[in-house]
Amino acid sequence: ALPPAVLKVTSIKRLFLESNDLAELPHQLPSLTSLTELWLGYNSIRDLSLDAGSCCGLTALTVLDLSSNRLKALPEDLALLTSLRSLSLDNNQLKALPCMQDWTSLLRLSASNNELNCLPATFSSLVSLQTMVVNNNLIDVLPANLSRLTSLRSFDISYNCLRHLGLPDNGLHQLSSLTSLEAKMNEIAELSVPGLAGTCMFEGLEVLNLKGNKLLSLPQEVLHLHRLKELDLSYNLIYDHQGLVSFIRSQVEMHMERRSLTDLPALVLKSRELRHLFLSHNLLLKLPETMTSLTSLQTLHVDNNRLILLERWISELQSLTDVNLSVNNL
């Protein structure tokens, strides 16, 4: 238990209580009216209700970490913490998130590894939100009016049950500030927005991870992402390589793992800006000497292929700093 003497120091602004096996919050906690940061991760807290001692009266809180506890629900009065800028709820058993209508100052929200099947309708009220992490949940559809999240830069919704990213009413495709979208290991079969054919989607993206979905072909929307630096389409059902390799001429990082490649597509070799090339788990017997044109290449992963020889020309790639040739026949 928390020593009572600590709770009498009302000038405390930051309180770290991680990994103390706390089962509930101290009743006197609301007396710490100066508290701006409260870190409660890695405890055994099951209840945040008023009867169990509440953090909801701490209206000056800007940072609240409740990750890795045993929470199954959050009290409605958590919505009163309108000064919050960072809220961490990872690794609990939450089935729903509270009303977010007044959390207009929130910059970061993380609720990964829970049992959420949706995001609340008030999610679109988080107009200052920059980072959202809700991977490893049960979410199958995104809420409406996401276009209001004009500050959102990074969104991770990996390991959920999404079938579509873009729907006319959710406005995700309109987030011009979004630079990183992680949606790996869902059930996404297409990116297009019904009724909005030809719309420029996710135009500010620099990172797009759609690994482990159900895409059958290269989404045409990807061809218009001129700022994209990192694209991961591995573990999909894409068999048309030409559309993919024509896009990567200006790419800095390229993932082509598990594509059953026996040769390196010629267009890859014309990407003078390419710095990181991942070719793991393919069927390559050798690397073409024309790879010497990749003068900016720093990372080359060709592990788990069928390479029998690495020729001397590899020494011409003087920018290489990271090479993986494991599990071959060299």
**Residue 145 burial class via C-beta count within 10 angstroms: exposed 0-12, middle 13-18, buried 19 and up:** middle
Domains, the chain: 1-94 (3.80.10.10), 127-239 (3.80.10.10), 255-330 (3.80.10.10)
98-108 pLDDT per residue, tens:
999 999 999 99
Nearest to 202 by CA among 191, 213, 212: 191
Q: 3-class DSSP state for residue 230? A: strand
pLDDT tens for 284-318 read: 999 999 899 898 999 999 999 999 988 889 899 99
pLDDT at 93: 98
Residue numbers of the chain with a pLDDT score lower than 70: 1, 49-57, 166-169, 192-201, 221, 240-250, 267
pLDDT reported for residue 47: 87
Whole-number Cα distances in Å, 16 to 36, 179, 220: 11, 32, 48
Q: What is the pLDDT of residue 192?
A: 64
Apex 158 CA angle, 273 and 130, nearest 5: 75
